[in-house]
Each structure stands twice: as C-alpha cells, then as structure tokens.
Amino acid sequence: MNNLQNDAFFFHNEEDENNFNLKEFLYKYLAYWKWFAISFFVALLCAFFYLKTQTPIYNISSSILIKDDKKGMGQDDMLKQLDMFSSTKVVDNEIEILKSYSLMEKVVKGLNLQVSYFSKGRFKNEQLYYKSPIKLQVLKASSLIYEEPLTVNIVNPKIIEINGKRFPLNQVISTKYGILKANLTGESKDITNFEISISPIETITQSLINNIKIEPSSKMSSVLLLSIQDAKPNRGKDVLNKLVEVYNNAGLEDKNKAAANTLIFIDERLKLISGDLTDVEKTVQNYKSQQGITDISAASQVFLENVQQTDNQLNQVKIQQSVLKGIEDYIKNKKEGSGTVPSTLGIDDPTMLKLIESLSELETQRSRMLQMVKTDNPMVVALDEQIQGIKSGINENIQTIKKSLSITRASLESQNRQVEGMIRSVPVKERQLVDITRQQGIKNNLYIYLLQKREETALSYASAVSDSRTVDEARSNNTPIKPVPKKIYLLFALVGLAIPFGSIYIIDLLNDKIQSRRDIEKATKATILGEISYSSQENDVIMIQKGRTAVAEQIRALRTNLSFLSPGKGVQSVLFTSSMSGEGKSFISLNLGASLALTEKKTIILELDLRKPKLHAALNMPNESGLSNYLIGKVEISDIIKEIPDQKNYYIITCGPIPPNPSELLINGRLEELIINLRSRFDYIILDAPPIGLVTDAQILETQADATLFVIRHDYTPKERLKLFNTFYKDKKFKNLNLIFNAVKQGGRYGYGYGYGYGYGYGYYEQDKTSKTNA
C-alpha cells in the first residue's frame, strides 16, 4: 500500500507543478488586505496633492493656408505638375521657416515673453501673464537678473519694492539687475506681492521652438496646423497669432525687395535729373533775357517737336541699357548665388522678367534655408545650381536685348542727326535757343517718365499680398490636456496596489523557508504522513487532551496514518527526527504518544536527544537518572521508567544527566537490550532523536525503529534541507521514512488551507507571534 501511496503522490506532484493554484495565490495576498487598503488610500491622497501642485496644460491650435500661385496650365507649369512631390517640398520648407529661430525670436521680443509673473499660492505659484499688476521692461540686463527671481511688492501707486529695495514706478530705474522700467497695468489690483522671473531670450525662443508643433492637415494639402501647449491659453493664442503675423511680414519683405530696389534706383535718378532740369531752365531763361527773344518761330517749333520725340525714345533706350548693365554686373559679380535681385525698370521683355522673378524666388528660398542649415547642405547646393542656371539664361537674354537696343539706339541717333541738320538752316540766335529748349524738353520728359514709374512701383509695393492666409485664428479648449485627473488617480491607485503586491512578492521570493506543501512535493516524492497546524497555546504541551481542536484532530489523523506504514506487520517503534533544532519533533512525538495512549495502548517515549533534551523540562519531570545512567550500567530499566502525570498508559524514560560522549553510549549494546525489553512490555515505543542534520545519533537509532518520521516546520525549515532529506529517502537509509509538516499557518497569506476543521467547525489558528509549543 505504501507503493500505491507513493504513486498517488507522484501524480499529484506533477499536477500541482503544471497547474496554477488561483485560490492559493489569492489567499496569500488577501491576508495582507490591510496593507493594500492603507497603500491604496495613501496613493489616492498623494494623487490629490499631486494634482494640486501641478499646473494644468492647455492645447492651443490654429491653421493657415499656404497659397500656391503656380497652378497654371502653361508649358513650364505642366512640367512641374509631373513632379508630384513639389507641393510637399514647398510645404515642408514653410514648416521649417515657421519654426525658424529668427521668426520665433521676433515673437518672444514682441510679446516680452522673457519676463514671467507669478503669484504665490498654497500649493504652487500661479502664472499671471496679462493679469500682472505691472509690466516690467528690461532695457539692459545684467547677468544677475537670470540667476534668481525678483520678489516684487507694490508699496503704493508710485513706489515699487524689488528684493527689498524701493524704486519709483513708471520711470527708468538702474538696479544691480540692469536698467529696468516698471509700469502699472491696472490689472489685478488686489495682488501686491508676487515674483518676476526673467529668462534669456535664447532660452525662451528655443523652448517655444521645441514646444510648437506644425504639420500639414493631409499629405496633399497646403493647410498647416499649428499647435502649442501652454499653462496660459491666452499666452498660447498670442504666440500662435504673433508667429503667423511675423511669418506673413517676413514673406512680404521678401516679395518687396525688388520693388524696394527699383524705388531706390528711381529716387537716385530723380535727384540727378531734377538738378539738371533746374540748370537747363535757368539757362533758357537767361538766354531769352540776354538775346531779347521771347519764343522760337513756327518752323523751329516743328523741328523741336520732332527731335524731342526722338530724344524721348532715345532716353528710354539708354535707361534700359543702364538697367541691363546693372543686371549684367549683378550676374557677373554674385558667383555664390546670393544677393539682392537688381531693378527691372523699363524692361518689358516677358522672358527676362520671368527669369528674374524665378531668380528672386530662388534667392529668397536660399536665404531662408541658410537660417536652418549650412551652405554645404545638399538642398542649398541644389538651389545654388538652379540659381546659376537661371543666371546663365538671364545673361544670354541680356546679350540678345542689348543687341536689339543697340540697333534701336543707332536708328534713333541717325534720325536725330537728320533733324539737327535741318535745324542748322535756322538763324543762329534762334538755333541756339532751340538747342537749349531741346535739352530742357529732354530733361523734363525724362523727369516725368521717372515720376510715373515711381508711382507705379510704389503702388505695386503697397499692394503686395502675403502668400499665406489665416484659416482659423488661435483657439484653445477649456479642458486641460494634462494632467488628466482620472488618469492620475488611476495611475496612483495602480501604484498603490503594486507597491504592497511587489513587496510581498519580493519578500516571498527572498524567503528561503518552506512555505507550502507544494515546496515539499517539488523537492521529494516522499509521503507527507501528516500536517500539524500552528498553535499559539504555549502553555499546553500535550494538545491531544484538549478534545476536538484542530491540532488534536490532526494528531489523531497521524495516529491513524501510522497503521498504514507497514500493513500486516504493524509499527511498534517510531523514530522522530528533523534536520535542525526547533522544528517541533519533540512536540509531535510527545502528542502522538499521548494519542496512542488514549486508545488503551501502553506507550512509552524515550528522550534520546542526549545533547539538548526538552521533554522532561516541558513535562516538569525530574531528570536525576535516565537513559545516560542506564547506558553506562548504573541503573536498571525499572528504575528509569516513569509515568507521565495525568496521562494513563503513557510513560517516559528521560535522558538523565547529559553525557560527554552520547554517540559512544548509543552503540555500546545496552540500548538494543533496552528496546527489546520495552517491546515486550509496551505496545508502542516513541524514540525522540536529535536532529539528523547536526549529529549521527538518529542514524544509529534507525536500527531500533520500525518507521522514521522526519519533521519539517512551515516558514522555518530552509528549502535546502529538503535536499538532505531526499538523499536519505533515495538511499533508503531509514526504514519507512515519511514526512510530517509541522506548525502550518493555515489559509491567509501563506496560501495554505486544510479540510480538517471544516467538517467539525474548527477555526483557523493564524497567529502573528512565534510559538514555542510546536518546537
């Protein structure tokens, strides 16, 4: 039958190893429910204070449309349509421009974002922004201003106190922090004490660049979505709106560069011609006064009108040649693809104008890109190649136009010479007046022409429109995006549950003591003959007489299981041992003997632990003589057998005086005679031996026993000791070697429970203090 039991336990072990015991898992952690409850409550409390100390962050967004004026059906545009990524590249460039340092720096300076205002609160400092009672202007900062915040106190409408020193309001003041100026805003008059933090413009600018998010609304769209996260929604709105404004202004400045250069060119020419015209008019007036001529004749008037018409055409040709000369000089001198595109005044060739417009756009793209990358960047190199290609085309076109203008100029000059020949037939005085008047007409017509072009250019300059349009102005949600209270409470709650869970798991992981029956079954295939619950009743040595308690019932179950160890033969002598002191072998052996005595069987227990005896002390019995005296031949058997008080049919042989050589006494032969004598006089013999892991006494006594019960204690015996037991079990060094699992703390945090008490209504013995009884 013992083999059948071993086979049953073997299959039971495999099943336990492969299956997860949910009930055991829950019992282990639910026993610490107070830990979980306290940790959960503390976590929620921490979440509450955490939310109080955190500044809510809002999301602010806006959108702009990047206009595309190149979607025509001309030949060049049709070729561009073949490049499906051209629009995306333009949008990507505009995104980089919007996130450029130069634009964001203008935003920071325009909104004075380097200065932050804070009012002191109970849990955190509240940012004031536009609600600040004063506006501080940093006209010239020193390094000290960035090292610590300024504590400000408004004493009265005319006096302000900064870090303990008083200064006048609404005036430029000189402090150790630099030259400042503080003006009252009229906002938040109830706030008189607050702090001002000044940060370097570079730091705030870079922070905004990192914080802002710009992306197209879709892959094929030219609408850009701008968003930023800020503690103050109004500040976030101002940043986005100001950024769009600065971006549009920068675009207009780029578009108006050519017009501005043309205006400069015209103004310079007007100054020169205005002076020449004044001189000529004075010459005409002086000549008429000196010669007494009031006007020229009708024939001379006809000659003058003809020559003036030719002169006007010739002047326009000369202006065009001058402009071409400027463009040619620009092409030759600017070899690196950079610079300002020259004026195109008077040039009406469509090819030339188109090439110059393309050159201007590429120059603008290059200047923007250089704000973000270096000149050796592949994108800049590609732009440089395009610019050089367009300049080559412009140069070829210039040569063609110059040839055409040279022919036109030669023809006009030939016509002038013919008219001048006719003028020579006019009388001398009148001819001289015609010459002077002719010069006056040339200068006057040129002056009028330049004034007309100036007004046209100024009108073009003023009517320039940005290439972007605001779709939605900056707006924010009323609900902050972070922190989200529900998520914070959930996160802290999970952490509050995870901390005790992890602590228990780590403690359990680091615990090398035997915690459950499963630990035993994983280490050995030996039969667990009995399981004894933990008890805190320290003064009760013999529990069996307590009646129907859980421990008493478990002792009775052990007594019953003892009869199955050797079917047909029976077990008369039982050896109790363990791996170390304190595992409870003496307690179990004493109580098993008492249980056997209750069945009207004469039972005797031998205190064979001759080194650290405990039985006689636990029973308060004298120990003047005992086994040690018998083994050395000084007393007889009848002299050392003592009846245990209040225990019918239950006797004991105490150890006697502790000898210096216990092992030698056990092998001198008298112990074997003693056991033979006791077998004839008693029904059961209980041998309480010393721990097997410390001395060899138990192995010596094994020959006198019919069965050996090895005691291990829950949450006390190291798991490593099971290896020693399994070695004895495999090598069969002890007859009928079985296990007893002692002092088991049932249910609860140990994940262990029994059925002994369920049917009888026994309660669990789960105590928090260490019991000496089971030891």
Residue 111 identity (one-letter amino acid): L
Q: Are 689 and 615 in contact (CB under 8 A)?
A: no
Q: Could you tell me which residue, 448 or 335, shows the higher pLDDT?
A: 448
The per-residue pLDDT for 604 is 94
pLDDT at 690 over 50: yes
Other beta carbons less than 10 A from residue 295's beta carbon = 11
Q: Chain-centre distance of CA 322, in angstroms?
A: 64
Q: Could you tell me which residue, 217 or 544, shows the higher pLDDT?
A: 217
674/314 Cα distance (integer angstroms): 150
The per-residue pLDDT for 131 is 82
Residues 6 or more apart whose Cβ sits within 8 Å of residue 754: 531, 533, 550, 554, 744, 746
Lowest-pLDDT choice from 38-42, 121-125, 399-403: 121-125
The per-residue pLDDT for 688 is 92
680/506 Cα distance (integer angstroms): 55
Provide φ and ψ at 217, rounded to 5°: -65, -25
629/83 Cα distance (integer angstroms): 112
Other beta carbons less than 10 A from residue 378's beta carbon = 8
Predicted confidence (pLDDT) per residue in 100-147, tens digit: 888 999 999 999 888 888 888 777 788 888 788 888 888 888 888 888
**CA-based nearest residue to 553, from 528, 580, 570, 535:** 535
pLDDT at 314 over 80: no
604/654 Cα distance (integer angstroms): 11
**CA-based nearest residue to 656, from 686, 691, 632:** 632
The per-residue pLDDT for 45 is 95
Predicted confidence (pLDDT) per residue in 403-412, tens digit: 888 888 788 7
pLDDT band at 8 (very low <50, low <70, confident <90, very high): very low
Residue 69 identity (one-letter amino acid): D
User: What does the block give as tokens for 517?
Assistant: 């029956």
Q: Could you check whether the bond before residue 378 is cis, i.e. omega within 30 degrees of 0?
A: no
pLDDT at 614 over 60: yes
pLDDT at 397 over 80: yes
Mean pLDDT, rounded, for 539-554: 72
pLDDT band at 573 (very low <50, low <70, confident <90, very high): very high
99/207 Cα distance (integer angstroms): 11
DSSP string for residues in 252-295: HHHHTHHHHHHHHHHHHHHHHHHHHHHHHHHHHHHHHHHHT---
The per-residue pLDDT for 4 is 38
The per-residue pLDDT for 653 is 93
Lowest-pLDDT choice from 387-396, 438-447, 677-686: 438-447
Task: Tell me whether residue 164 is exposed, middle or buried, using C-beta atoms within 10 angstroms of its C-beta: 0 to 12, 13 to 18, 19 or more.
Answer: exposed
pLDDT band at 399 (very low <50, low <70, confident <90, very high): confident
Predicted confidence (pLDDT) per residue in 616-656, tens digit: 888 889 988 899 899 998 999 988 999 998 888 999 999 99
Mean pLDDT, rounded, for 525-529: 90
Q: In which residue are the tokens 């002792």 written?
A: 555
118/350 Cα distance (integer angstroms): 60
The per-residue pLDDT for 210 is 92
pLDDT band at 269 (very low <50, low <70, confident <90, very high): confident
The per-residue pLDDT for 316 is 75
Lowest-pLDDT choice from 314-328, 388-402, 649-663: 314-328
The whole-chain average pLDDT of the chain stands at: 78
C-alpha radius of gyration, the chain, whole number = 55
pLDDT at 496 over 90: yes
**CA-based nearest residue to 571, from 709, 737, 706, 710:** 706
pLDDT at 348 over 80: no
Mean pLDDT, rounded, for 160-174: 88
The per-residue pLDDT for 306 is 65
369/387 Cα distance (integer angstroms): 14
pLDDT band at 264 (very low <50, low <70, confident <90, very high): confident
Mean pLDDT, rounded, for 669-692: 91
| Distance in Å from the first CA to the final CA of the chain | 31
pLDDT at 598 over 60: yes
Provide φ and ψ at 107, rounded to 5°: -65, -45
Q: Which helix (H) or strand (E) holds 573?
A: strand 573-578
Q: Are 430 and 246 in contact (CB under 8 A)?
A: no
pLDDT band at 775 (very low <50, low <70, confident <90, very high): very low
Lowest-pLDDT choice from 210-219, 262-271, 360-369, 391-400: 360-369
> Interior CA angle at 258 toward 251 and 317, to 5°?
160
Lowest-pLDDT choice from 519-523, 565-569, 689-693: 565-569
**CA-based nearest residue to 194, from 159, 150, 141:** 150
Which stretch, 125-129, 400-404, 587-591, has highest mean pLDDT? 587-591
Predicted confidence (pLDDT) per residue in 215-240, tens digit: 988 888 888 999 999 988 999 999 99
Lowest-pLDDT choice from 330-334, 584-588, 598-602, 691-695: 330-334
The SS3 assignment for 693 reads coil
Residues 6 or more apart whose Cβ sits within 8 Å of residue 8: none
pLDDT at 300 over 70: no
pLDDT at 754 over 50: no
The per-residue pLDDT for 488 is 93
User: What does the block give as tokens for 462?
Assistant: 């003023």
Q: In which residue are the tokens 């340092």 written?
A: 101
User: What does the block give as tokens for 272?
Assistant: 């020169």
Burial 717-733 (b: 16+ CB within 10 A, else e): bebebbeebeebbeeee
Q: Is the dihedral of CA 361, 366, 368, 369 positive or negative?
A: positive
Report the percent of the chain where pLDDT is more than 90.
Answer: 19
Lowest-pLDDT choice from 8-12, 369-373, 651-655: 8-12
Q: Which helix (H) or strand (E) holds 740?
A: strand 737-744
